[in-house]
């Protein structure tokens, strides 16, 4: 008798009752990714080795060797020989006599759990295509790039010279001898190529090469390309979105490669003809004899490619996916032509342990030995320079500092004879210490080791180039501590203790050094004496020098000299010296001084004005409001405007503009009057002609809000209120000139934004201005996910309000490309642009943008108008925009129908087996039935919560099926939850009640019509633009038979199934002992359980039975938890009524 396990039975109606109560009361209303661990596979592979038989006469020693190797099989032969007391060669012979071989442990590429199936599926797909079309493999063009070095290459791993004495043989290899990048495509029809790529292979270079050279050669060879398949590897330039779109335009869906129609899986070995045959074949011939110049190398490559016969190409390309014995021979024998061509990026790969070991070698021994050591150390320093010079790599610099590279270099500076320290030793330290993008590494360097003793010793160097780098390093190191909260500089005592202050001052006083060195020495002293009084012998000369370089042509010097003055002013004695003979109330007079005289006199006047502005800014730090109001009374506002209008822009710094901005709050009425007199904007606009980004930044702060207000107040078809005034003073030309100068990213952005708001309701004066400004706002939207997408979309919306801009906006199929590149939230803005430009895009329609918008809104929100189910569509009737999701049996992407410009969702599924065809056909019929049933049972104005199917079609080979559906632009609930987690936010109670109401209403719309969804989960809950819910994926949905409250369970997603469907059933037998198959019964309560899980995820942002640390749980373990455990508590700050409702939905009580 079989013991019956405890049965859950039919779940009681707590879940259904809770939902009914909620619906009756009309109450107001994610899922953590489960990753899989990686499995590292390291195996020892058999490797046949042949050894000659030798006679071992000493059985005792042989037995010892055997015992040691059996107990410790990984013991080195040298260790075994030492233990036995015999030579290594004798031990080797004994090992061979015992029948033992040496096996080298080899690293194998890591394979993930899914890789085996993906590889198998990829090969099966290609073989299925081969079965349907016997000539398929002949039409594949396999492509690849390869680098041909002029010097060739030598494998020294097994390169021996057998002789009685060491011949000390060497082979000379040229250093950076030059190379050629070669691209070829090979098929059964022969070779196309070689094509020489003379620059880095970027997306554009690759596309130009394919379009301008490869495709024309294909047309010359074949009358039509309809049968040609193109294969490529997974290089970044090949897999870029723009490249894939380009290739689809050329070859449609006949592409083999990463992310393409015939997927070439990740981590798959390179088994294409270029890899296992072509490159090795060519190199064997090209380098025999060795070419002497790049011209010879190029000629030899062309010659050998032309000599390659079609028959040879056909014999190489015919085998496919191991289906041919010849291919297996090719692969198993590993022909000598197999080459692993690696890109020349070794400068980016540094073994820091090797660098440290080299730097730690003492410079001792004979002259020759010391020279070798010195050269080795200089080489590793040059590697560090190549690794970090002019590169933004915070992580790399941090790793180098943590490894102790700067510590070892500082020790060399402190202990070595200065004549042995060359430029690379110093430049390596500078490149590592150079401030990163988000991190100042000078502080980290000091924390590892005090570098100042060695650094200040380097000030004795006589080489000015080296001295210039040393003083910059010292200045940077000191700057790393100036931002500390301590009143005294944290490095002050350690530097003063080694007489560092006097050494800096001595360097400053030297007459033989250039001004750059003296400037940095003065700045270093200013930064060091933070809140400390400068020594009397230094004070006046250092402060005077810092004053004189605040208007220096070098931006770095200007900024740091002003910063040094600010730091010194924290000490009252220093501040007194700085502010000496400065009267703020005569600044107005100074700013009005005419700039006349010879060049030197004019320069002095302008420097005086700039410096007074610096002192004025220093005064602001401690000035009271009354003093500032008195200052405004001296006419300083108008004086500043005169100063901006007359000062040489090359001499004008940030300080006066910043001072003017700070004084504006005390002179609003005065500025308003100046604006009325039209004397304000001409002076401010002129500042945009500066070459200094910091000046332009301040000028933008002064003017942008006024421009924006002028645009907002402009009535329909009226220009910006400031347009006429800015036009008259040449502002449009100045701003466009700033835009074209491309001074820096921010300055260009300021100019573009100001021009956009200035030309509201106004056409640009010329085609060039219109083209460049619109292109500036469009390009980031279709090429990358820019950090400033909102700004770009906002600006483009304003530009789209002007009809004259429409043609430029619509160039190059922009709408479709932008929808493909942008995240879902931004797509609604692009849709608005599409509506604004619809008259130009579809002039025959006669539909005005506003009318079209109303029609689209009506269609997407209510979905009440019955549209014919289209079965005549083809994929060529649509333009693909972007992939938006993946279901159980296919992928979903957004497309634009070319004829109507409507944006739809298309689900692409495999359709090449009877089972897949049956599943797809059934899902379509279920969706159409559900829509029909709901329409018949609801009021015409009621919102339908089911995604409407619009059409269905298959491709020519009937391998793929495409289900066309309405698009829900708000994404799905899973994305909504993920975005909250990513942004660190959570849903509010009010918003959650809205979701509760909308989801329950959607599911209730099915339940009142006796339909069970069967697979509810966040991925199948879609959101419209106004966050209304629509349900999708009805592959497991069923309509209950009349009089029944359940259906047979057909599967689902484990994480959202209730315990009664996950409970392990007992094994029942009939009278003859045969096992009886029990069918599980699924009721509406299963849908309600899934709603409870989803709402829990919406609040807690994780599954109720899976914590954030449980990513590795299997489905079986999850099912066990759902059946046996209680859900985790929801966050307590949510309302009790909301938490009780979700708890009731997750009820596991038994009848």
Which residue ranges are tagged as binding site for ATP?
907
**DSSP one-letter code for 1081:** E
Look at residue 1075 and give its three-state secondary structure: strand
Look at residue 517 and give its three-state secondary structure: helix
Do 382 and 424 touch, CB atoms closer than 8 A? yes
Do 279 and 340 touch, CB atoms closer than 8 A? no
Question: Residue holding tokens 């007391």?
Answer: 85
Do 381 and 425 touch, CB atoms closer than 8 A? yes
Residue positions forming the annotated binding site: 907
Q: Which two structure tokens, joined as six digits, stand for 545?
A: 């020098």
- Burial string for 184-217 (b: 16+ CB within 10 Å, else e) reads bbbbbbbbbbbbebeeebebeebbebbeeebbee
Distance CA(504)–CA(279), nearest Å, equals 60
Helix ranges, 389-499 (H): 394-403, 405-415, 423-433, 441-448, 452-457, 464-479, 492-496
Distance CA(386)–CA(382), nearest Å, equals 6
Please count the other Cβ atoms lying within 10 Å of the Cβ belonging to residue 58: 13
Cα dihedral 1007, 1011, 1015, 1016 in deg (nearest 10): -20
- Largest Cα separation within the chain, whole Å, is 120
230 contacts: CB under 8 Å, gap ≥ 6: 140, 141, 143, 185, 247, 250, 251, 254, 255, 256
Distance CA(287)–CA(308), nearest Å, equals 16
Task: Give me Rg for the CA atoms of the chain.
Answer: 38
Q: Which two structure tokens, joined as six digits, stand for 1074?
A: 């045969």
Do 1014 and 1042 touch, CB atoms closer than 8 A? no
Distance CA(808)–CA(582), nearest Å, equals 56
- Distance in Å from the first CA to the final CA of the chain: 26
Burial class (CB within 10 angstroms; exposed 0-12, middle 13-18, buried 19+) of 1031: buried
Question: Residue holding tokens 């070095």?
Answer: 149
Distance CA(1119)–CA(1062), nearest Å, equals 6
Q: How far is CA 316 from CA 275, 300, 322, in A?
A: 11, 22, 13
> Residue 788 is inside which H or E element, if any?
none
Q: How far is CA 1042 from CA 450, 462, 885, in A?
A: 85, 100, 36
Cα dihedral 508, 512, 517, 518 in deg (nearest 10): 30
Look at residue 1068 and give its three-state secondary structure: strand
370 contacts: CB under 8 Å, gap ≥ 6: 363, 364
The distance from CA 451 to its chain's CA centroid, rounded to whole angstroms, is 36
What is the DSSP pairing of strand 262-263 with strand 255-257? Answer: parallel
Q: How far is CA 74 from CA 64, 77, 105, 606, in A?
A: 15, 9, 10, 79
Distance CA(510)–CA(527), nearest Å, equals 20
For residue 194, cis peptide bond before it (omega within 30 degrees of 0):
yes
């Amino acid at each position: 008798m079989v013991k019956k396990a405890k049965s859950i039975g039919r779940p009681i109606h707590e879940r259904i009752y809770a939902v009914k109560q909620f619906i009756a009361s009309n109450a107001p209303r994610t899922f953590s990714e489960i990753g899989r661990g990686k499995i590292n596979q390291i195996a020892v592979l058999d490797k046949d080795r042949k050894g000659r038989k030798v006679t071992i006469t000493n059985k005792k020693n042989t037995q010892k060797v055997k015992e040691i190797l059996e107990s410790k099989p990984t013991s080195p032969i040298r260790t075994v020989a030492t233990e036995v007391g015999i030579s290594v060669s004798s031990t080797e012979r004994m090992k061979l006599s015992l029948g033992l071989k040496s096996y080298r442990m080899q690293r194998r590429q890591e394979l993930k759990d899914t890789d085996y199936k993906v590889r198998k599926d990829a090969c099966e797909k290609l073989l299925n295509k081969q079965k349907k079309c016997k000539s398929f493999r002949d039409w594949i063009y396999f492509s690849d790039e390869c680098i041909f070095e002029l010097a060739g290459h030598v494998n020294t791993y097994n390169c021996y010279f057998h002789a009685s004495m060491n011949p000390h043989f060497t082979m000379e290899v040229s250093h950076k001898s030059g190379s050629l990048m070669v691209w070829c495509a090979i098929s059964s029809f022969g070779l196309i190529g070689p094509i020489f790529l003379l620059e880095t292979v970027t997306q554009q270079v690759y596309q130009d090469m394919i379009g301008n050279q490869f495709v024309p050669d294909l047309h010359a060879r074949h009358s039509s390309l309809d049968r040609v398949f193109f294969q490529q590897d997974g290089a970044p330039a090949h897999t870029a979105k723009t490249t894939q779109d380009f290739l689809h335009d050329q070859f449609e869906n006949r592409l083999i490669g990463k992310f393409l129609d015939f997927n070439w899986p990740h981590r798959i070995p390179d088994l294409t003809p270029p890899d296992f045959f072509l490159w090795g074949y060519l190199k064997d011939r090209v380098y025999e004899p060795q070419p002497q110049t790049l011209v010879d190398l190029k000629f030899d490559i062309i010659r050998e490619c032309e000599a390659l016969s079609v028959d040879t190409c056909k014999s190489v390309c015919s085998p496919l996916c191991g289906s041919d014995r010849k291919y297996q021979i090719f692969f198993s024998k590993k022909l000598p032509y197999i080459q692993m061509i690696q890109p020349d990026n070794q400068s980016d790969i540094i073994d820091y342990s090797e660098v440290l070991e080299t730097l730690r070698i003492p410079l001792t021994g004979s002259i020759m030995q010391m020279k070798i050591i010195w050269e080795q150390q200089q080489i590793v320093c040059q590697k560090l320079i190549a690794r970090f010079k002019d590169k933004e790599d915070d992580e790399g610099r941090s790793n180098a500092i943590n490894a102790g590279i700067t510590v070892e270099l500082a020790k060399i500076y402190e202990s070595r004879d200065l004549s042995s320290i060359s430029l690379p030793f110093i430049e390596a330290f500078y490149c590592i210490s150079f401030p990163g993008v988000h991190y100042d590494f000078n502080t980290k360097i000091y924390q590892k080791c005090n570098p100042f003793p060695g650094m200040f010793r380097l000030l004795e160097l006589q080489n000015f180039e080296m001295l210039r780098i040393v003083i910059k390093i010292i200045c940077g190191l000191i700057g790393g501590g100036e931002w500390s909260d301590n009143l005294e500089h944290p490095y002050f005592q350690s530097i003063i203790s080694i007489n560092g202050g006097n050494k800096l001052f001595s360097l400053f006083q030297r007459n033989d050094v250039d001004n750059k060195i003296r400037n940095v020495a003065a700045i270093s002293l200013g930064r060091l004496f933070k809140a400390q009084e400068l020594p009397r012998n230094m004070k006046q000369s250092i402060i005077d020098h810092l004053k004189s370089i605040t208007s220096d042509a070098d931006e770095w010097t200007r900024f740091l000299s002003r910063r040094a003055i600010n730091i010194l002013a924290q000490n009252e004695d220093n501040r007194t010296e700085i502010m000496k003979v400065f009267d703020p109330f005569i600044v107005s007079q100074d700013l009005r001084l005419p700039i006349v005289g010879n060049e030197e006199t004019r320069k002095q006047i302008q420097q005086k004005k700039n410096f007074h502005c610096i002192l004025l800014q220093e005064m602001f730090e401690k000035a009271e409001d009354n003093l500032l109001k008195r200052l405004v009374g001296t006419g300083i506002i108008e004086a500043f405007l005169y100063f901006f209008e007359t000062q040489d822009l090359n001499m004008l710094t940030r300080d006066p503009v910043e001072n003017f901005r700070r004084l504006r709050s005390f002179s609003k009425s005065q500025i308003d009057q100046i604006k009325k007199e039209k004397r304000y904007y001409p002076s401010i606009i002129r500042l945009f002609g500066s070459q200094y980004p910091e000046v332009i930044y301040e000028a933008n702060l002064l003017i942008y809000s006024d421009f924006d207000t002028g645009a907002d107040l402009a009535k329909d078809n009226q220009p910006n209120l400031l347009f006429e005034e800015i036009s008259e003073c040449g502002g449009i030309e100045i701003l466009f000139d700033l835009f074209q100068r491309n001074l820096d990213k921010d300055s260009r952005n300021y100019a573009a934004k100001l021009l956009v708001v200035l030309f509201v309701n106004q056409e640009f004066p010329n085609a060039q201005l219109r083209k460049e400004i619109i292109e500036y706002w469009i390009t980031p939207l279709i090429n990358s996910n820019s950090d400033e997408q909102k700004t770009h979309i906002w600006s483009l919306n304003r530009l789209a309000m002007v009809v004259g801009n429409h043609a430029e906006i619509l160039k190059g199929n922009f709408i479709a490309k932008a929808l493909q590149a942008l995240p879902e939230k931004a797509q609604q803005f692009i849709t608005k642009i599409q509506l604004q430009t619809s008259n130009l895009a579809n002039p025959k329609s006669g539909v005005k943008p506003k009318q079209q918008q109303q029609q689209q809104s009506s269609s997407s929100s209510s979905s009440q108008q019955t549209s014919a189910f289209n079965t005549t569509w083809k994929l060529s009737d649509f333009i693909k925009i972007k992939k938006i999701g993946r279901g159980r049996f296919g992928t979903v992407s957004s497309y634009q129908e070319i004829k109507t410009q409507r944006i739809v969702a298309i689900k692409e599924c495999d359709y090449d087996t009877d089972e897949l065809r049956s599943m797809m056909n059934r899902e379509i019929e279920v969706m159409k039935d559900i829509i029909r049933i709901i329409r018949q049972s609801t009021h015409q104005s009621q919102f339908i919560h089911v995604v409407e199917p619009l059409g269905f079609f298959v491709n020519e080979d009937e391998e793929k099926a495409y289900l066309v559906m309405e698009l829900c632009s708000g994404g799905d609930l899973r994305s909504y939850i993920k975005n909250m987690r990513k942004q660190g936010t959570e849903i509010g109670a009010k918003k959650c009640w809205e979701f509760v109401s909308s989801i329950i209403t959607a599911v209730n719309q099915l339940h009142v019509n006796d339909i069970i969804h069967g697979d509810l989960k966040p991925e199948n809950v879609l959101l419209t633009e106004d966050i209304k819910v629509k349900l999708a994926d009805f592959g497991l949905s069923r309509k209950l038979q009349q009089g029944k409250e359940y259906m047979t369970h057909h599967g689902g997603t484990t994480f959202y199934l209730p315990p009664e469907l996950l409970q392990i059933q007992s094994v029942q037998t009939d009278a003859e002992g045969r096992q009886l198959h029990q069918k599980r019964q699924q009721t509406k309560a299963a849908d309600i359980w899934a709603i409870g899980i989803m709402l829990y995820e919406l609040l807690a942002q994780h599954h109720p039975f899976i914590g954030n640390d449980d990513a590795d749980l299997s489905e079986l373990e999850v099912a066990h938890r759902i059946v046996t455990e209680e859900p985790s508590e929801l966050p307590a700050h949510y309302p009790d009524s909301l938490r009780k409702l979700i708890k009731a939905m997750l009820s596991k009580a038994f009848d």
